[in-house]
Structure 1
Amino acid sequence: MANEFYIGKRLSYDGQLCTLRYYGEVKGTKGEWLGVEWDDPARGKHSGEHGGIRYFECLSKLPTAGSFVRPTRKADPQRSFVEALKAKYASEDFEDPDVEIVFVTQEKKKNAAPRAPIRFSGKEAEEVGFDKIRKQLANLHELRIVILDGLCMSRSIARSKESQLESDATSWPTDLTDVKDACPKTIELDLSRNLFEDWREVASICEQLGKLRSLRVDGNRFRDTALTDTERQGCLKAFANITTLKLENTLLTWEELTNITALFPDLTTFVASSNLYNTLTPRTLTRTITDLSLEDNAFLTLSDLHPLTKLPKLQRLILKANKLCTITHSDQSTPIFSPTVSEVDLSYNDISTWRFIDTLPTAFPGLTSLRVSHNPLYTSLQAADGRALSAEDGYMLTIARLGRLKVLNYSPISEKERLNAESYYLSLIAKELNFASEEAAEGILRSHPRWKWLCEEYGEPDVKREVNRVNPNSLAARLIKLHLYLGETAKAAASSDAPERFETELPMNFTVYSVLGVVGKKIGIPPMKCRLVWETGDWMPVARDDAIDEDWDTDSSDEEDEGKEVGERVMREVEIVPGTRSIGTSVDGMEVAVRIEHR
């Protein structure tokens, strides 16, 4: 049985794939065990450690990826390519356990009327049985897109042997025709989540498909990607026509990945998502790639991707769902990608500063399309006057900061949108300068690289600084000062020691209910018995009773009304209605006069 198990062997138990990482005894138990790392890390119990002893390492580095199973446990049977193809597209048995097929036969009665044909929208429908459907599916020769993911497929005949490696021979037979005989017209092939252990197994399949253009091998765990010179030449021929390759969640090292891409002479689209990369070694990918996806990895800075700057034809770079927060580390210079890179996806990262956005034109000189949604930057924006900005405001500012951008978050940018965005951005810079001292102005302008260009395009705004203006980002800018005094009704109901006039400063987001609580406690009246009246300070003219004409002509001109006599002027008053509305939105200004009355 010892020869049956080896490190790196791929296994499947009850449909769950795993890789053998340890074979031997476990302290405190009897007999031998298999230490396996599950492809689904949530399936396991530990990380390869038991009783304080580490028996194996999990490539995923996750705490629940490993388990110990007995060698006697029955594994799922493995399939060849042709067996997997027939199981998927030409199975003889109806495989849906929730559907019961019932065959009903009826004797044809003598002189029975012929059954009327079934019609849909006036067209006669053809009735077919499962045998005809299976016959159509069984025509595997016509398949152009073949998806064989998760079918326990392996190709042990193509796995390497030490004697063959030493002789620099090709490890797999080159005269096989099983794949070509089964589906010769295949142009897209998905071999994801199977039991392949050796990259030669993939090559042995692809070399028989001369029309193959797209290959997907996600979720496999290869123990060996090394090739002899002869095998490398065989792979170059086998993958000669493939332009799209996907290797997601394979946990291959970056060096192994670059070695594999070098076997595809015409590769243009490459996907290497979910491989736990946080930096890239100097090895570079094949230079023919134009579309590259490194989604769902762990990159922190763009400088971690420096080897990608050597791709001369790269046009589209997907970095979605990483941990990008800065352009470079403190001791590094900004990486400059090829001018051919026009589309970049930075959504679902940790970008929180405008400096990152402002540096993008330097890092990507040809950038015209950007996706940057779902970053912390757009959830905590604030204007210079302390006003909170929405995500939509943030996207407008992104457009204004990136002058060459034509598409943002998949939406084309019109000329009108750019005009509005840049004008808005310029006004916000002017407000920021209004609140800053002259000494701080230079630093502010450095944080807005497009200031000079915007001024040349739209004219420099008039900056008016006020010496005593409150800093909008300070606590004082968030307080409102209330000048309160007791009205006649409140004087009669208030406690004997209640002050007739007093002042208080409260946060602008205090609700009116909270303000009533503060006032009521101060003057000794129940809060809900207090009535707050805001004296606006605006005086309005009131017409005298004897000046009102019952036959007033609504069509009279302003000149005729100008000479009419009016009564005295009165102050406009507004009652502050109790509720959960904030006091800052119930009145205007930072200082207001409020009269207190008793209800």
Structure 2
Amino acid sequence: MPLPAVGSRLSLKGYTATVRYVGNVDGTVGDWIGVEWDDPARGKHDGVKDGKRYFSCLAPDAGSFIRPLPSIDYGRPFLDVLVGKYIEVQHGSATQETVVLGSSNGAIQVEAVNLDKIRGKFSRLERLRDISLDKEGVSRPNPAGEIRAKCPSVRSLDLSHNLIPSWEVIALIAIELPLLECLTLSNNRLQSFQSSIHAGQAFRNLTELQLNATLITWQTALDVIAFMPKLKHLELGYNRLSGLSSTEYPQGSFASLELLNLDGNDLMDWGDICRALRPFTSLRRLILSANPISVIPSITSSISKPSSLKHLALTDTRIDAWNSIDAVSDWCPGLEGLSINGTPLVQVDPETVQTWRQLAIARVPALRMLDGASISPRQRTDAELFYLSLISRIAYPSDAARLAAHKRWTVLCQLHGTPDISVSDSAKDDKLSNHLIEIEAILSSAPPLLSASHDISTVSQTTIRILPSAPLRLLRLKLQKVFKAPRGTRADVWMHMANGKFSRLGNLDGEKGVDENKEIGWWLDEGAKVVVCLKPGE
């Protein structure tokens, strides 16, 4: 049987690989195929055998040698696979098949029942608009014109986990699909892009491209998308990218790109990322989740800021300081959506998620969405008042030091009024004190207005003493008992600020949540005043 060419793709026992070497191996008889497995765990070395290098791998220790066996599958033409999946009805006795949902790392798999019946509805290939040939062994195009004649209406094509060796093959397939807009190539291993006469025409209408887990380089990605003038959505997750700066930007416009997904890579340098984003002048969404970014530095004039960004995902990164969130606001002044779940900012104290949420909202002025939850105007006011109160209880050597630590201090004081700053030397230790503090509690028939000071609809008034280390839920229970609330009643509590305004403590309507375990010393000091509104349980 003929030997495969270097660079071709193969499948053996369900595992896919790229051919890196064909020939003899010292000390053995016969031909060997040196391969790099897509799954590095299948490998035994990096192409070195007995001290001699035969080939190199993109992933460490992903290589091994195999014999040219008849059981090796080198793939089939596109149309052969398409017809076999969408027209032929013999699929064995299994009634369930696995379907992969979503993008990025393909982590969501579901069992779909009776797909054969569904395929019957799509057996007229000329009507197909969405084609999925994931894990079907596609390796090459058909003769020119055949694909276009069979399925001219295709707009979305999924070729993930296949045996396609190069971008040239991708172009020869795509050029046959003139209406193609969405192309998914995740979990393939394509040779470095070489510009060809087909690329410009093949990719001219693409608006979405997924290249997750392909080990593509940033430079190759730029070279490819330079031929995609309408591209809006690009996914490059899980490609082991450690840097993005490029000294060569290929000719072509990148102004159409609106979403860039870089999750699951090895990116650490925020400045490097911003430099790489310079050509993408319309970029609105940037996903950096699960990258080892730990610091977002203060803005510098030497690096262009991504001013067009509206949404930034930092989920599961290593951001651990609030000054990085302050810096995000400076780098992206129009930022409306932010994700910080899974960062040390939240994980340091998992019982205070609501506190972190308030701090993030207060520090990023344009934010409308945080970790997927919308921010109402009232929530923003609450967060900013809480933030002001928190700052006012911390001792600083000077006003300049306070402003350096909290850049929005002046602006927030202008919006809500300057809180009374009367911090003793031991104020920062109040929340850990073992001494009871006295709190004035006012029972009101209606919730107080947050935006302005006004007369409280007082029903009753008393004072209570409580440890500042007690959780907020205990304060609620104590207030319910003091005001003789019926069983099942909920107590909403508002802190009376020094400027006469109010800020709700904890979760809405006494709802159970992690903030209920927060020590009340975070909010209340000796002599603090709270307003309580009792509501019947549902």
Distance (whole Å) between structure 2 residues aligned to residue 347 and residue 334 of structure 1: 27
Look up the equivalent residue of 1:93 and give its one-letter code.
Answer: Q
Q: 1:315 to 1:134 in 2, by over 3 A?
A: closer
Aligned to 1:149: 134
The yes-or-no answer on 1:209 pairing with 2:177 is: yes
Q: 1:143 to 1:130 in 2, by over 3 A?
A: closer
Cα offset, 1:261, TM superposition: 0.3
The yes-or-no answer on 1:85 pairing with 2:82 is: yes
Contact 1:188 1:213 in 2 (8 A): yes
Contact 1:33 1:69 in 2 (8 A): yes
Contact 1:15 1:76 in 2 (8 A): no
1:53-202 correspondence runs (5 A): 53-61=52-60, 63=61, 65-72=62-69, 74-97=71-94, 136-155=121-140, 176-202=144-170
Distance (whole Å) between structure 2 residues aligned to residue 470 and residue 328 of structure 1: 30
Deviations 1:24-76 (A, max 9, x none): 44455444432211112223333334445544332123x4x222212236312
Q: 1:399 to 1:297 in 2, by over 3 A?
A: same
Aligned to 1:243: 207
The yes-or-no answer on 1:351 pairing with 2:319 is: yes
Distance (whole Å) between structure 1 residues aligned to residue 116 and residue 268 of structure 2: 56
Contact 2:32 2:65 in 1 (8 A): yes
Aligned to 2:420: 462
Contact 1:301 1:328 in 2 (8 A): no
Cα offset, 1:354, TM superposition: 0.5
Q: Secondary structure at the match of 2:76?
A: coil
Aligned to 1:533: none
Look up the equivalent residue of 2:140 and give its one-letter code.
Answer: R
Q: 1:458 to 1:471 in 2, by over 3 A?
A: closer
Look up the equivalent residue of 1:80 and give its one-letter code.
Answer: P
Distance (whole Å) between structure 1 residues aligned to residue 298 and residue 363 of structure 2: 23
The yes-or-no answer on 1:259 pairing with 2:223 is: yes
Aligned to 2:390: 428
2:195 to 223, 227, 234: 227
Contact 1:313 1:338 in 2 (8 A): no
Q: Secondary structure at the match of 2:85?
A: helix
The yes-or-no answer on 1:278 pairing with 2:242 is: yes
Contact 1:369 1:407 in 2 (8 A): yes
Q: 1:135 to 1:407 in 2, by over 3 A?
A: closer
Cα offset, 1:471, TM superposition: 5.7
Aligned to 1:315: 284
Look up the equivalent residue of 1:76 and give its one-letter code.
Answer: D
Q: Secondary structure at the match of 1:390?
A: helix
Q: Secondary structure at the match of 2:82?
A: helix
Look up the equivalent residue of 1:261 and give its one-letter code.
Answer: I
Distance (whole Å) between structure 1 residues aligned to residue 115 and residue 296 of structure 2: 59
Aligned to 2:295: 326
Distance (whole Å) between structure 2 residues aligned to residue 329 and residue 452 of structure 1: 19
Q: Secondary structure at the match of 1:5?
A: coil
Q: 1:392 to 1:46 in 2, by over 3 A?
A: farther
Q: Secondary structure at the match of 1:349?
A: coil
Deviations 1:101-157 (A, max 9, x none): xxxxxxxxxxxxxxxxxxxxxxxxxxxx99987754422222110001111111177
Distance (whole Å) between structure 1 residues aligned to residue 167 and residue 373 of structure 2: 41
Alignment gaps of 5+ in structure 2:
97-113, 436-467, 470-518, 526-538
The yes-or-no answer on 1:419 pairing with 2:388 is: no
Q: Secondary structure at the match of 2:139?
A: coil
Distance (whole Å) between structure 1 residues aligned to residue 236 and residue 68 of structure 2: 34
Aligned to 1:472: 429
Deviations 1:299-337 (A, max 9, x none): 11221211203311111111122111112499x767443
Q: TM-score, normalised by structure 2?
A: 0.71
Query: Paired residues, what number?
Result: 418
Contact 1:310 1:338 in 2 (8 A): no
Distance (whole Å) between structure 2 residues aligned to residue 10 and residue 24 of structure 1: 16
Cα offset, 1:249, TM superposition: 1.7
2:265 to 297, 302, 309: 297
Q: Secondary structure at the match of 1:309?
A: coil
Q: Secondary structure at the match of 1:4?
A: coil
Contact 2:36 2:63 in 1 (8 A): yes
Cα offset, 1:447, TM superposition: 1.2
1:337-416 correspondence runs (5 A): 337-380=305-348, 390-416=352-378
1:396-545 correspondence runs (5 A): 396-433=358-395, 436=396, 438=397, 442-467=400-425, 469=426, 472=429
Distance (whole Å) between structure 2 residues aligned to residue 251 and residue 362 of structure 1: 33
Q: 1:334 to 1:402 in 2, by over 3 A?
A: farther
Identity of aligned residues (%): 33
Q: Secondary structure at the match of 1:288?
A: coil
Look up the equivalent residue of 1:296 and give its one-letter code.
Answer: G
Contact 2:291 2:317 in 1 (8 A): yes
Distance (whole Å) between structure 2 residues aligned to residue 389 and residue 400 of structure 1: 19
Contact 2:288 2:313 in 1 (8 A): yes
Deviations 1:255-291 (A, max 9, x none): 2111110111211111111111111132457222112
Q: 1:96 to 1:309 in 2, by over 3 A?
A: farther
Distance (whole Å) between structure 1 residues aligned to residue 28 and residue 297 of structure 2: 51
Contact 2:287 2:313 in 1 (8 A): yes
Cα offset, 1:218, TM superposition: 1.5
Cα offset, 1:359, TM superposition: 0.5
Cα offset, 1:377, TM superposition: 1.1
Distance (whole Å) between structure 1 residues aligned to residue 131 and residue 400 of structure 2: 62
Look up the equivalent residue of 2:405 and give its one-letter code.
Answer: S
Q: 1:44 to 1:329 in 2, by over 3 A?
A: farther
Measured on the aligned residues, the alpha-carbon RMSD in Å equals: 3.2
Distance (whole Å) between structure 1 residues aligned to residue 296 and residue 29 of structure 2: 54
Contact 1:236 1:265 in 2 (8 A): no
Structure label with greater radius of gyration: 1
Look up the equivalent residue of 2:278 and give its one-letter code.
Answer: T
Q: 1:262 to 1:373 in 2, by over 3 A?
A: same
Contact 1:203 1:239 in 2 (8 A): yes
Q: Secondary structure at the match of 2:245?
A: coil
Q: Secondary structure at the match of 1:249?
A: coil
Aligned to 1:568: none
Distance (whole Å) between structure 1 residues aligned to residue 152 and residue 195 of structure 2: 26
Contact 1:89 1:137 in 2 (8 A): yes
Q: Secondary structure at the match of 2:163?
A: coil
